[in-house]
Amino acid sequence: MSCLTALPPDVPKAQACRALNVPRHWCYPDRRQRNRAAAPTGQGRGLSEAEEQRILGALHSERFLDAAPRQVYATLLSEGTVLGSVSTMYRLLRRRQETRERRNQRPAQHHVKPQLKATAPDQVYTWDITKLPTVTRGVYLCLYVILDLFSRYPVGWMVSRKENAGLACHLFREVLSRRAIEPDQLIVHQDRGSPMIAHSFGDLLSDLGVERSFSRPRVSNDNPFSESQFKTVKYWPSYPGRFQGEEHARAWCRELFPAYSRRPHEGLALFTPEDLYTGQFEALWRIRQAAMDRHYAAHPERYVQGPPQVARPPAVVSINPEDGQTAAELLHDPEAFQISPTPVSIELPEVVT
């Protein structure tokens, strides 16, 4: 660096730095080193043992037992006393591992991640409640919908002015009876709303031999099938936006759910929920495959990858599948398919509880 500061006046500093492959700032004296050397070392500013004990004595005193160091500092300063800075108080407490939360805290809650799998209808139901706005500002109706996880078929629905466990019990009692659900056959998945966690609702499902499954708190994707179905409902072409009342909502739902059940579903290889729930999809798949075979025979040049295969619905539908799996996986095994009873449209009037 000394040779760079003594360059001849006719030699540009940038050219000399490039020739020596050194940074250009080497051509200038580093005044920061002199300033740093002139700065005080800080010796003699530390607290004595007696001063530290005085600060700790104040922090541990009964007067400030439940006060934070900032509050202690401010209180003493208002009284004309300075024992040390706030950071000093924290440093002394941290050295003794006394900076943790001292109040009684609720322990961390660890909820099991729900992992459900359905290979046939009537194995897993998922249900939820959504609000339907009315023409009266601030007044909403409650739409209860129970979906079969495997087929996405709406096995039961109800419109009510209220949201409570009594109505949920009434709906499930009717649905499970009409579907002829046997004990230990069904799992019902739900979130943690007040009707879902009510003791009366839990007792009903327990008496009927139905296992319950819950979403984790503050987790938005533990019940994706019901949430997706509610979005489909509210984006339906005939959705009025606001309803005149309960009868208007029920009349609209009577048209909606049969149409929804007979609409091709992308997650079901474009079969309908009713096709899967009733077991009709196998015959329909053979019709589709025969049509594709005829089209291939007539136009083989259009299929560069060989004979086409019509997609089958997934053999397994899961909520939170294991790592390496997908929510809808594998091709369907016809031998494992169980044909369910003919679906019955469940429409339940409101029950005042």
pLDDT in tens, the chain (353 residues): 455 656 677 778 888 888 888 887 777 766 665 555 555 555 677 889 999 999 999 999 999 988 889 999 999 999 999 999 999 999 999 999 888 776 677 787 788 899 999 999 999 999 999 999 999 999 999 999 999 999 999 999 999 999 999 999 999 999 999 999 999 999 999 999 999 999 999 999 999 999 999 999 888 888 999 999 999 999 999 999 999 999 999 999 999 999 999 999 999 999 999 999 999 999 999 999 999 999 999 999 999 999 999 999 999 999 998 765 554 444 444 443 443 444 444 454 443 33
**What is the pLDDT, as a whole number, of residue 17?**
84
**What is the pLDDT, as a whole number, of residue 327?**
44
Where helices occur in 13-81 by DSSP H, the ranges are: 13-20, 31-38, 49-59, 69-78
* Packing angle, helices 49-59 and 86-95, rounded to 10: 90
Contact between 169 and 201 (Cβ < 8 Å): yes
Contact between 147 and 154 (Cβ < 8 Å): yes
**What is the pLDDT, as a whole number, of residue 250?**
96
**What is the pLDDT, as a whole number, of residue 112?**
85
Write down the residue that tokens 């700790």 correspond to. Answer: 56
Domain 116-263+341-348 has CATH 3.40.50.720: no
Between CA 257 and CA 21 the distance in angstroms is 78
Residue ranges, CATH 3.30.420.10, the chain: 116-263+341-348
**What is the pLDDT, as a whole number, of residue 111?**
84
Distance of CA 73 to the CA centre of its chain: 43
With H, G, I as helix, E, B as strand and everything else as coil, classify residue 44. coil
Between strands 154-160 and 140-148, the pairing is antiparallel
Tokens for 105?
């805290």
